[in-house]
Structure 1
Amino acid sequence: MPQAPILETIRLILRPHRVEDYPACRILWADEQVVRHIGGAPQDGQAVWFRLLRYAGMWPMLGYGMWVIEERDSGAFLGEAGLLNAERGIPELEGVPEAGWVVGPEAWGRGIATEAMHAILEWADAHLDAPSLRCIIDPDNMASIKVAEKLGFHALVDTTYGGKPTRVFERVKNPPL
């Protein structure tokens, strides 16, 4: 698959990243509150640029990847969500697509991450030959844990990643209706 398909929900459009998204991505990944549970350190422009290029490369190489979360009514960039293979060296993630989401402060508390990931999980269930998906969350990130649980993920194992406590969650693929 050369790039992300466009997915739509009531409030959102999930679309492929574009070069024009770089400034919004840079703001997102430079925000200390956004990254406090995702690595803990703001990313500089080069790291965000490489992230954007990595997103584009996942689709043709893996057949899945990340989407931009765009607000349908305003066109505002709200964050990113999708599936990845980050080769993190965590045994429980090997051979299993990893789900991930990040939204900016303007989207917090609005159910945006849940809505976006619900559409992505429906797409994954229909298009990926994977019996389950997994994600990692900082055990102190209660907001993301709530999102994961709403989406059907359950805690699988506690481990460490980058020297920090990390919890691996799993969601078994929903059977077709």
Structure 2
Amino acid sequence: MSDVPCLETERLLFQVPCREDFEEFAAMWADPDVARYTCGTPETPQAAWGRLLRYRGVWGVMGFGFWSVRDKQTGRFVGTIGFHDAHRDVTPSVMGVPEAGWVLASWCHGKGFATEGVSAACRWLDTHTPYRRSVCLVSPRNTPSIRIAEKHGFVLFAKPFFMGEETLLFERYAPD
């Protein structure tokens, strides 16, 4: 998939998700600390495989997607950062709007990788796509992700129910 841009920050490398990421990707999604605010329960390898394929495939359908992110210095898998359009059943509807997401392996929580990575992803969306608005859905209990969203200009605009629980829906507009 040569049409997927590779990004680089001071500490991170962003590349298209690939088969070689699977073992570390599946381990991340099986971690209860990672799953508690995302899918709710740890994922099986089969579910993680389906997710990896979706993350790779969304690029060809939407022109944006998730990157696999690695530590530049060590090559260690950090997580996934990017955008999708999950067609979530929430009100207000956000279908057709890039939904930002970041899921990082628990080994790197609290080290600033999410802040650095989300900054790069938002900058890319703002400068390389026609989309001027993006959203993100965050659990009200996920204080670190709420802080990351707010640092990047996402503003709370709704509290829809999703998967039976109230959640927070933030929106962000590209700077002029």
Q: Normalized against structure 2, the TM-score is what?
A: 0.96
> Hey, what does 1:142 align to over in structure 2?
143
Q: Which string of whole-angstrom CA distances, capped at 9 and with x for unpartnered residues, describes residues 3-57 of structure 1?
A: 4210000000011111011100110000001111112111101111111111111
> Kindly tell me: are residues 3 and 50 of structure 1, through their superposed partners in 2, closer, same or farther at Cα, counting changes over 3 Å?
farther
Letter in 2 for 1:112: F
Question: Does 2:168 correspond to 1:167?
Answer: yes
> Hey, what does 1:118 align to over in structure 2?
119
Distance (Å, rounded) in 1 between the aligned partners of 2:172 and 2:123: 12
Q: Which string of whole-angstrom CA distances, capped at 9 and with x for unpartnered residues, describes residues 42-79 of structure 1?
A: 11011111111111111111100000110000000011
Distance (Å, rounded) in 2 between the aligned partners of 1:79 and 1:110: 13
State the percentage of identical aligned residues.
Answer: 39
Q: How does 1:30-45 map to 2 (within 5 A)?
A: 30-45=30-45
Gaps of 5+ in 2: none
Q: How does 1:34-73 map to 2 (within 5 A)?
A: 34-73=34-73
Question: Which of 88-97 and 130-139 deviates more?
Answer: 88-97
* RMSD over aligned Cα atoms: 1.2
Number of matched pairs: 175
Question: Which of 84-93 and 121-130 deviates more?
Answer: 84-93
Q: Normalized against structure 1, the TM-score is what?
A: 0.95
Q: How does 1:77-156 map to 2 (within 5 A)?
A: 77-90=77-90, 91-156=92-157
Letter in 2 for 1:79: G
Q: Which string of whole-angstrom CA distances, capped at 9 and with x for unpartnered residues, describes residues 78-124 of structure 1?
A: 11010001111223312211000011111111110110111111110
Question: Which of 92-101 and 23-32 deviates more?
Answer: 92-101
Secondary structure of 1:28's aligned partner: helix
> Kindly tell me: are residues 162 and 3 of structure 1, through their superposed partners in 2, closer, same or farther at Cα, counting changes over 3 Å?
farther
Q: CA deviation at 1:2?
A: 5.6
Distance (Å, rounded) in 1 between the aligned partners of 2:119 and 2:159: 24
Question: Does 2:27 correspond to 1:24?
Answer: no
Q: Which runs of 4+ in 1 moved over 2 A?
A: 1-4
Q: CA deviation at 1:142?
A: 0.1
Secondary structure of 1:43's aligned partner: coil
Secondary structure of 1:92's aligned partner: coil
Contact residue 37 and residue 141 of structure 1 kept, 8 A: yes
